[in-house]
Amino acid sequence: MAINKRVRVLIVDDSLFFRTALQKALLNNPHIEIIGTAGSAAEAEKKIKELSPDVVTMDVEMPDMRGTDFLKKLIPTNPVPVVLVSSLDIGIFEALSAGAVDFVQKPNLKSSDDFTVFCKELSTKIKIASSAKVKKAPAAPVISLPLPTLSKSAMSEHIIAIGASTGGTEATVEILKQLPADIPGILIVQHMPVGFTKMYADRLNKLCKFAVAEAQNGDRVKQGQALVAAGDKHMTLEKDYKGYYVKCAAGEKVSGHCPSVDVMFRSVAKTAGKDAMGVILTGMGRDGASGLLEMRNNGSFTIGQDKQTCVVYGMPMVAYDIGAVVKQAPIHAIAGIIIQKLNK
């Protein structure tokens, strides 16, 4: 998209009140142009064809069609970036899997402060989405090559730290689903609001061969388990005479986020050093890049997702450019690289 060009947005929501309020709130945004609104999936489909928006904002649940079903129909023929607007709903992850770029939590319309914060966050995500790479679901199931078996020698106290933002929910799934049940302890920071991180961890727990949970302060980092940072707390790695554990605490945003990938990576660099592995995935900005460099400088093996498979090649690009990445790879190859490195 050309510099200074306004992002042309179509608002889709079954609530006339919400559509009107959002259109009015974004009216004077110098980076966004609202080109239309729609109150149903059928109307949205028609207007997308007529208006060719740069980005669509859409409620997850609509009266005539579920958002997930609409996306499955839309993306193959009109791969337009979609930012979802959702209440605390597990369906958000199905919609992201179906091709949506990102989501924003629906605000409390009775609170003007909540609505103002929501509009600011949505505006940011609309701008990010306008340059995102929309992922189409494969026409046929992808046949994964068998991964090497994890050797018993790889069972030492090792830590795998993964950081991601826009597009990262599905990228992380793709890695974790390929890893074995006896994988060393994993820490995950995914930029996501409070509440959604618990649902995300629960979803991963159903999809993976090992246990996944939202991190609680003091949780032990164990083989065969992954911990996901809560949406409003920084997660750091600590160590005592019993082994590794995590601290989870509220704090100021670091690198623009809480939880922050940088905060986690820096603690892993300090606490685990050469016994750790860092993975930075798709996302806008630079959160995690400097922390990953600290990990590499402390002897950790580091991996960055490549440009071709990123929804947004931001965080991994900055990490690569500053020398933080030992190995850059497509998302489908990262699990194999992790296992091969653990076996050495």
Catalytic residues: 165, 191, 287
**Token couple for 33:** 């142009």
* CA-wise closest residue to 33 among 23, 46, 42: 23
From first CA to last CA, the distance across the chain in angstroms is 44
**DSSP-assigned letter for residue 202:** H
* Residues whose CB falls within 8 Å of the CB of residue 199, separated by 6 or more in sequence, listed in order: 88, 90, 92, 93
CA atoms within a 13 Å half-sphere pointing along the CA-CB vector of 244: 27
DSSP string, 133-156: -PPPPPSS---PPPPPPPPGGGGS
Return phi, psi of residue 312, to 5°.
-135, 115
Alpha carbons 7 and 12: distance in angstroms, whole number: 16
- Euclidean distance between CA atoms 335 and 147, whole angstroms: 8
The contacts found for 240-245 with CB under 8 angstroms, 24 or more apart, are: 243/157, 244/157, 244/159, 244/185, 244/220, 244/271, 244/272, 245/218, 245/219, 245/220, 245/221
Q: Could you give the C-alpha distances from 329 to 32, 99, 325, in angstroms and in order?
A: 34, 22, 10
